[in-house]
Amino acid sequence: MINCVLSKKVTRLLGITLLTGLNLFPFNIQPGYAETCTTFPVVGGEENDETEVTKTVSQPGVSIPVIGPASVGVNNNWNTDFSIIPLKQYKEYTITFTPKSDGEYKVRAYLKYNDDTADEIYNEKKSYTAGQAIEIKGVPKADNIPIQVNLFVGDPISIAKTYTVSVKGCM
């Protein structure tokens, strides 16, 4: 009788060990690693600490030369910058671009550095579907910390199309 009970316990323990080793045990808990992300404010946003902006692509800017060092003209809204605050090295930067209008867009994205250089992380001219967000991811240079993330949406094909954009950095 004792051998039979002992044999059942050993068999049960071996079965649990085998299931755990194969990750088939229903209570097998794997350690989770939460990603820590920070959203960044829009440079020149209408509200304080605005982290998302919706734009409708304007006509191209026109520069009108005048006598003297100044020039006047009509600016476009093709560039959107986000300040990396707090300024620290993030593992990855993610731009969430959500078209509000169906159609073709010309979209470029950059990580901008303090030494006046930039890494292009995205450059696509393609058709997007309204409401279908895309994530544009960029990894910074190992020896330099970006100070801004730039999204450039502009080209004659993009005029009058509307989109929403936000940016975050993740550790």
The CATH number assigned to the domain holding 102 equals: 2.60.120.1380
Are 105 and 159 part of one and the same domain?
Answer: yes
pTM of the model: 0.73
In this prediction, residue 40 carries a pLDDT of 97
In this prediction, residue 11 carries a pLDDT of 45
Are 7 and 79 part of one and the same domain?
Answer: no
What is the Rg, in whole angstroms, of the alpha carbon atoms belonging to the chain?
26
Total count of domains within the chain: 2
Mean pLDDT of 90-114: 97
Least confident of 18-22, 54-58, 97-101: 18-22
In this prediction, residue 24 carries a pLDDT of 41
**DSSP state, residue 60:** P
C-alpha 26: how far from chain center: 35
Are 78 and 144 part of one and the same domain?
Answer: yes
Mean pLDDT of 2-19: 44
Domain region containing 130: 37-170
Are 109 and 159 part of one and the same domain?
Answer: yes
Are 1 and 85 part of one and the same domain?
Answer: no
